[in-house]
Structure 1
Amino acid sequence: MDETTSYPPIEPSNFDLIVVGTGLPEAILAAAASAAGKSVLHLDPNPSYGSHYASLPLQEFTTYIESHSSQSSANFPIPQSDMDSGFTRVPLTTRPLYSSVEITSYSPEPLEQSRKFNVDLSGPRVLLCADAMIDLILKSEVNQYMEFKSIDGSFISDGEGNLESVPDSRSAIFKDRKLSFTEKNQLMRFFKLVQGHLEAAAAADGGESSESKSISEQDLESPFVEFLSKMGLSAKLKSIVLYAIAMAEYDQENGDVCKSVLKTKDGIDRLALYHSSVGRFPNAPGAMIYPIYGQGELPQAFCRRAAVKGCIYVLRMPVNSLLMDKASGSYKGVCLASEQELFSHKLILAPSFVVQLPLPHSSPDAHDFGSRNATEKLARSICISKHSLKLDVANCLAFFPPRSLFPEQVTAIHVLQLSSNVAVCPSGMFLTYLSAICEDDVQGKKLLHAAINVLFHVPVSGSSGNNNNFAEDQSETGDAKPALLWSVLYTQELAKFQGVLDNIIRTPMPDGSPYYHDLLGATEKIFQELYSGEEFFPKSTSSEEGAAQELED
C-alpha cells in the first residue's frame, strides 16, 4: 500500500499564509493572521501541538529530546526541478536543536508514572502578571482556554544551598529577617527613588513638569550596576536587584565577561514591570503565575483561537519541500509528504527547519536561509524529587547570581520548582527546571551540575542513559536537601536568525529568559514584517476581571 494514501488531502489548496510548526511564536502568528482575516494553513509533522514549546509526559519528553539531538550538521539534498511544472522543489530538512543529552535515573518511580507528568521543553518559564504576554492573552481571549496558578515566591541563593526570599515589595522588605536595618533602609530609599522617577516620567507625558524627582539622562544611560553602587546599595542588595528582579543574565560587575550590559533605564523599566505585576489579579498575590498543565497550554490556546477564526490545522503532516518559481526563484508553495502541492503568499517556518534556497537566475550556488549566530547556548536541566527545595513552598522561582557557585560562573542560573497543584507531576513529587546561558556544552554542564549538587542530595548510584537498569529507590536522607529521583541535562542552540527571504520567515528559538516579553516582541515584529499596517490582534471585549476569574487560588 502506498504510504501517501495515509495522508488526507487538504482543501482548499491556496492560502494567504502557511505555517509549519506549532510552537508558541508560530501559534501566535497563525492566530494573529487569522484574526486579521487571512486564510491560514497550520501544519506540524509532530502528533501533538507545541513543537519546542510543548509540555509532554516524561517518557515522551525524553524521546523528543533524544530524537532532536545530534552532533552532526544537516545534509542538504539537491533541489529537484519538476519538468512538468514551473517549480523547483527545494527539500525542507531539520536541524537538531539539542546536544549532550544526559539522563540519569535513581528510582523507577518517575517513569512508572510517566503519563502524570507534563514536562516543559522550554522551562524554566513563568508569566509576569503585568507583562505584554498577559495583555495579549486577555486581548486575544485565549484566557478562556487556560487556567493559571500563582507562583508562591521568589528566592535567591547564596551559593551554599540557602534560598533567601527576594524582598521585592515594601511589605516583603519589612518582613525580611535576613536583611539588616541599614539594608532595609537602603532598599526602601532606592525603590522610593525609582517610584518617584516613574511618576515624574508619567507626569511629563501628561504635560506636567516634575524633573526634580527624575533620574538624570546621564544616569539612565549608565550601566545599572554603577547606578546601584552610586545609590549606596550593598553587594547583596545589588545582586538581588540585578539578577532576581531585573533578570540580568551576565555578571554585570565584570566588563571582561559581560556580553550584555544592562543600562539603568532598562533596569528601571524591568523593576517597574515587576512591581506592577505584584497583586494585579485578586487570586494571584505575587508577581508571577504559571499555566495549569504546563507551558504547552499556551501554544495550544493560541491554536484553538486561530481555529475559531478559520485556521486549518493538520498534525502528523510533514512538509518535504518548498516550491520555488523556476524563472524568478521566488517562493510559491510547499509539497507535503503526501505529494500534494499547496500554495501560499507567505510561509512561516519553526526554527528547527532548514532550507537551502537556490539563488535566482539559475545560479549553481545556493543560500542556506537562516544563517545564525551560534556563539551562545542554553544549558537546561530537569530534576524530579519527592520533597520541596523550601519547606512549605510548592511553586517558586529561584536564582543563582554569577559567582555564587564558583568564581568562573559568569552567568546567572534560573530555577523553577513546580508541584502537583499545577498538574505537571504526580502528587508527592516536585519538578524543578534549571537553565543558564553558556558558551558550550562543557561550560553549561558544569554550571548546572554545580547548582544541582547545591540544591539536591544526589545519590552515588544511578543509571545514565535511558534504560531500565534503575538503582534501588532512594529514601530521603537526614539532611535538608531533597533526594534526586531522576534528572536530565542537555544544551539547546540559542541562535538568532537573520532577516526575511522572499516571503519566507523563521520564528525565534526558545530563549533563556524566564519570561515571555522578549519572545513576544520578536514575534510581533515578524507579524508587522509580514503584514505591515495590520493590527496585531484587534481589540476584543475581554476584561481583566474576567481573566482574573480564570486564576486559581
Structure 2
Amino acid sequence: MDEAEGESSISEEDLDLPFIEFLKKQKLTPKMIGVVLYAIAMADYDQEDDDCCGKLLTTRDGIKAVAVYVKSIERFVNAKGAFIYPMHGHGELPQAFCRFAAVKGALYVLRMPVIALLMDKEKQHYIGTRLASGQDIMCQHLILDPSYKIPSELPSDASDSNSTRKVARGICITKKPVKPNSSNVVVVFPPKSLHQQQDATLRVLQLSSNVSVCPPEMYIAHLSIPCVDAYTGKLYINKAIEVLLGSETSNDSKGHLETTREDNNDVNQGLIWKCIYVQEITQGTPGTILSCPMPDEYLDYRNILESTKKLFADIYPDKEFLPRNSAPQYADDDPDPPE
C-alpha cells in the first residue's frame, strides 16, 4: 500500500480522527485493532485512554506507519518479515559511517578522549576541542553527544533546552527462544497486557547466533518500555521476562542497575543472565553546540535519520544530504575499467 494512495482514499475528517476510532469504524475486532495499533503501527502508549496517552496516534500518522510496515515486508530476499537486523549488532552502523566518512576525506580518532571545549569568548562561540594528548582540534561547527555535560559558566543552549524522558531496558541471555522455533523475532506487549497500570507498549527484540551477536544455541533478548520512574519501568521489564521465560524475577527496583546471574532453576527455564536498567533519553537541540539525539526506545532509525538530516540542513543549507554518486564514465579507448 502506498502512503499517498492510502490517504487519498480516506476523507480529511477521518484523517484527523484518532486512529483507533477510524479502525473501529472499519468494523475491526478489538484483537485486530490491537494488532494494527501496537504490532504494525507501533503505537507507544495506550490509545484508548485519552488521559494517560502520551501520544495519541491520528489516522494520518497511523496510515503512514502502516505503509512503512507494508513496504518493508520481504524487502530483502533472506528476510521474510518487515524487520531486518544488522549482522554483528548495532555497532556495525557507526563503523559503516566511519568507513563512509573516511572515503569522503573525514578523519576518525579512536581512544582519544576530549578533555575540554575551546571557546571564543568575544563571539561566545565554541571553536574546537582539546584532546587528552594536549592537541587542539579547531573547527567551524561542533557536534556533541547531548548527554555531554557543558561547564555551567559557559553558554550551553543545547543542554539547557534538552528534554529528557526515561526508558527502562532489559538485556537477557537465554538458552531457549522466547517463542518456540524462533530465531530473530519481535514481541509486543500492548498497554495493560502485563499490568493494569501499564500505559506504554513494551517491546522485545530477540536475536540469535545467525546474526553473529551470541554463541550458537543461545539467544539475546532486548526489552524496552518508556516509563515515568525506575520502579514501574523495572517492574514491567521483570514481568515480561517472567511471562516469556517462565522465570520468577525480583521486583526490587530501588537501584538504577540490576545485574543478575540466575540460579540453576532459572537456567533450566532458559534464563542465564539478565541486566535491567533505566536510561534517560536526552534530545539535543540546535544552539551554541549542535547535537544529535541519543538512541531511543524505538526499533527503527527514523527519528535519528530525520534529526540527522535536519542537523545537516542547518549546517549546510545548500548541500544535498548523502548524494548518490553516478557510475564512473570510462574513455572509449579504454574498454577495461580499473578494478
Q: Same fold (TM over 0.5)?
A: yes
1:384 deviates by 1.1
Where does 1:157-306 land on structure 2 (aligned, <5 Å)? 195=1, 198-199=4-5, 214-306=9-101
The residue number in structure 1 matching 2:293 is 508
Look up the SS of the partner of 1:240 in the other structure: helix
C-alpha displacement at 1:352, in angstroms?
A: 2.5
Aligned-pair distance for 1:345? 0.6
* 1:331-410 → structure 2 map (5 Å cutoff): 331-356=126-151, 358=153, 367=156, 369-374=158-163, 376-410=165-199
CA contact (8 A) 1:356 1:369 kept: no
Give the Cα separation in 1 of the matches to 2:223 and 2:317: 38
2:277 to 465, 490, 499: 490
Q: Secondary structure at the match of 2:32?
A: helix
Paired residue type of 1:345: Q
Residue aligning to 1:540: 325
- Deviations along 1:166-203, one digit per CA (max 9) or x if unpaired, are xxxxxxxxxxxxxxxxxxxxxxxxxxxxx4984376xx
After superposition, residues 65-144 of structure 1 pair within 5 angstroms as none
- Cα distance in 1 for partners of 2:82, 2:322 equals 25
1:404 positional shift? 0.7
1:447 matched to which residue of 2? 236
Q: Would the alpha carbon gap of residues 454 and 466 (structure 1) be closer, same or farther in structure 2, given more than 3 Å must change?
A: closer
Which consecutive unaligned segments of at least 5 residues does structure 1 have? 1-194, 202-210, 360-365, 543-553
Residue of structure 2 in register with 1:529 after alignment: 314
**Residues 194, 240 of structure 2: 8 Å contact kept:** yes
Q: Take 1:512 and 1:196, find their aligned partners in 2: how far apart are those partners?
A: 26
User: How far does residue 222 in structure 1 lie from its aligned partner after superposition?
Assistant: 1.1
* Counterpart amino acid of residue 346 in structure 1: H
Q: Is the 8 A contact 2:234 2:276 kept in 1?
A: yes
372 and 455 in structure 1: CA distance in 2 versus 1, 3 angstrom threshold: farther
Give the letter aligned to residue 392 of structure 1. N
Aligned residue for 1:427?
216
| Counterpart residue type for residue 185 of structure 2 | C
1:312–1:197: structure 2 CA closer, same or farther, 3 Å change rule?
Answer: closer
The structural deviation recorded for 1:475 is 7.3
1:318 corresponding residue in structure 2: 113
1:398-448 per-position Cα deviation (integer Å, ceiling 9, x unaligned):
100001112100000000111111111111111111000001111111111
The answer to whether the Cα contact below 8 Å between 2:146 and 2:292 also exists between their aligned partners in 1 is: yes
Name which structure has the greater RCO, CA cutoff 8 Å, separation 6+: 1
1:375–1:439 contact (8 Å) kept in structure 2? no
Structure 2 unmatched runs, 5+: 251-256, 328-339
What is the CA-CA distance between 1:472 and the residue it aligns to?
5.3
CA contact (8 A) 1:419 1:425 kept: yes
CA contact (8 A) 1:370 1:506 kept: no
Q: CA RMSD in A?
A: 2.4
Closer, same or farther in 2 for the Cα pair 1:216/1:412, shift >3 Å? same
The 8 Å contact of residues 332 and 344 in structure 1, kept in 2 or not, is answered as yes
Deviations 1:94-148 (A, max 9, x none): xxxxxxxxxxxxxxxxxxxxxxxxxxxxxxxxxxxxxxxxxxxxxxxxxxxxxxx
- Does the 8 Å contact 1:474/1:485 carry over to 2? no
2: distance between equivalents of 1:295 and 1:496?
A: 20
Mapped contact 2:239–2:249 kept (Cα < 8 A): no
User: C-alpha distance in 1, partners of 2:237/2:149?
Assistant: 30
Question: What secondary structure does 1:381 align onto?
Answer: strand
TM-score of the two chains, using structure 1 as the length reference:
0.55
CA distance in structure 1 between the partners assigned to 2:226 and 2:263 by the alignment: 34
Query: Using the alignment, how far apart are the partners of 1:265 and 1:460 within structure 2?
Result: 40
Q: What is the percent sequence identity of the aligned residues? A: 45
Equivalent pairs counted in the alignment come to 321
Question: For residues 259 and 48 of structure 2, what CA distance do their matches in structure 1 show?
Answer: 41
Structure 1 residues 328 and 198, CA, compared in 2 at 3 Å: closer, same or farther? closer
Shift of 1:391: 1.6
Question: Contact 1:243/1:249 (CA < 8 Å) preserved in 2?
Answer: yes
**Is the alpha carbon distance of 1:232 and 1:459 closer, same or farther for their aligned partners in structure 2, counting shifts above 3 Å?**
closer
For residues 471 and 224 of structure 1, the distance between their equivalents in structure 2, rounded to whole angstroms, comes to 42
Length-normalised TM-score, structure 2: 0.88
Q: CA deviation at 1:281?
A: 2.2
Q: How far apart are residue 465 of structure 1 and its match?
A: 6.4
What SS does the aligned partner of 2:247 have? coil
- Partner letter of residue 270 of structure 2? A
The answer as to whether partners of 1:354 and 1:368 remain within 8 angstroms in 2 is: no
- 3-state DSSP class of the match of 2:239? helix
1:408 and 1:216 mapped to 2: Cα distance? 35
